[in-house]
Structure 1
Amino acid sequence: MSDAVDALIRDLSDRDREVRRAAEDGLVALGARSVDRLLPYVRDERRDSPRFGAESVLKRLGDQALPRLREIRRHGPGHLRGKALEALVELGGAEALDDADRRAVERLVRIKLLDEGRVELPLDAGRWLAFPADRLDDAVSALGLHDLRPATVVTGVEAATRAADSLEFEDSRGEKQTAYRVFITPEFDNWRGDPPTGKWRLVWGNAFVDECDGFLLADRLSERCGEAHFYVIDPYHSGSLWYVARDGRRVRSYGTYDYPEFRGEPLPFEVSYIEDAANGIDEEYAEGVSDAGIAADHLSVEPGPMPIEDTHGHGWLATTHPDAPNARFKGALPI
C-alpha cells in the first residue's frame, strides 16, 4: 500500500493532466487513509512539490478527512500537527476545530493584537466605506453586523477582500440565505485634512459592498453616524469614485463614469484645487477633485501604510447574518 500511495503522490506532479487526475481519483478513493501522506505538501513552496494536487485531494475528501485531522492534532505525529490545523480550517472553517484548538487560535489572535505594529491597508482591494471612529456601535447597527471578533488587519483584509467572503446556507427556518464577511479597521487619525477631521474607521468587504450597493450602505451609515463615505479606486478601468453622505443623503460625489461626473456643491477641501485650476495649475481639477485617493486623504483616511502613532485599538471581523458566525466560513487566514 505504501509504495502504491507514493506512486500516486508522485503522479500528482506529472506533466500529463490525465495522469494527475487519475492520481487524484486514486487518492480520493483511499479516503482518510491518504491524509497523513498528503499533509506534508500543504502550502509546500518547493518547486517540484505536488502541493496543488495534494490540496485538491484534501478538498475533495472534505468531511471524510476531518476525523483523522483532529486525531493528528491531538496525538500526532508532531511534524504534521501544524499542517493538520491549517487543513481543518481550510476544509471546515473554525467550526471544524475542537475546543482546545479554538482557544489556542483565539489566544494567538490576542497576542498578535498586542503587538500588531504598523499596519497597511492595500489599495488593490479597490472599494471601502468610512465612518467616524467614535460611532462604532451605530455603524454595526446600521450595517446589520453580527458575531464581532477582534482581528488583526492582516486577517481582516484577507477575510473580507481576498478569501471566500460570502457564504450560502440555510437559516434556522430552512430558508436559503447569503451571509458576508465584513472587516472594520482600527481607528486611524486624519491630521492631513484641512481642518483635521478626527479619527475614522474603514469598512472592507468586497462581496458585501458589491451586493448591497456601496452608495446605499454609505447613506445608511450616515443616518446613524452623521457622516459616511464610499470610495472606489479601479486601476484596471482607470476609474475613480468618491461619495460623501451626511444624515442619510448625498452631499457631494464624483464618479469617472457618472453623468454628470460631479454632483453636489464642492466641499471646502476642493476649493484650493479649483482655484489652482483657474490659475492654470492642474486644470483637471477645474470642477473639483476627481481622485478618490486625494478625497479620502482629506476627508477620512487613504489606504496604504498607516503610521503607528496614528493607529488606535484593533479591528473587528463580523458577518451579516446571525445564523452564519465567522466560524462557518471556510479557509485558513493569516494572523
Structure 2
Amino acid sequence: METEALIDQLAGPDRKAAGDALVAVGEPAVRPVLAVLCDEESPVDWAASATVLRRIGLPALGPLVEAMAAAPTGEVSRRCGWAHCGLEIEDLAAFPWYAVPTGHRNAVLDAFGLSEPEPVTMRLGASAWNHDHHAWRGDHRSCRRVYVTPRLDGWTLVFGDAFPDDAFDGVELHDSAAFQARYMQVKEDLGIPDECHATSFAARASVDPSALGPGTSV
C-alpha cells in the first residue's frame, strides 16, 4: 500500500495496523509522516503520527531536529519535541560519549562527579540518558542521568553531552539562523571538530560503540 494511503488510515479505525505498516516502511515514510505531524489542520491525531516517528527511530532524528528549528508555531515545536524525546534508538553511537581508558568504575564516577549509580542494561541506560538529554525543562536537564558502560576492551564509555547546559540560553527556539550561529560558535569555543565521524575516530583511538559484539572484551 502507498505511504500516503497508510498515513490517511492513521485517522481511521485501522490506525494501529497503518502505524505498524509505516514503521515497516522505515526511512522513506519519515518525511511524509513528519509533514502530517506538523500540519495543525490534519485529521490525523498528532500523537499517532508522532508515535510512528518514535518507533521508526534513528532515521527520524535529523528530520525532527530540522522541523523543531523551523517550527512555525509553538504547537508544532511541542509535537516535534515529543516525538524527538521518545525516539527508539538502539545504536549507542547515535549519542555523544566520553571514552576513559580504565575499567575502574568508581574512579570514573568520581572524575565525572556522578553519584547514586544504578545497574541497568545498555538499552535502558541509553534510553534514560536520551530521554533526559531531550527534556525541555529542569535544572541540569541534559546531565541529570548519564549512562556509564561496563569495561569494553579496556575502556569505559560515559554517554553525556559535550555542550554546556546553558549553551543555547537566550536563543529563540524558532530562529533557525540564530540557533545555527550559536551552535557553530559553541563548537568553535569547545574545539569540537567536523572533519571525522566519531565512530571512525573511536575505532582507532579507543572503542567504537557501534561495533560492540561477541568479540568485545567486557
Point out the structure with max Rg over C-alpha.
Answer: 1
Structure that is richer in strand per residue = 1
Is the pair's TM-score, using the shorter chain for normalization, greater than 0.5?
Answer: no
TM-score where L is the length of structure 2? 0.37
TM-score where L is the length of structure 1? 0.26
Q: Greater RCO between the two (CA within 8 Å, min separation 6)?
A: 1
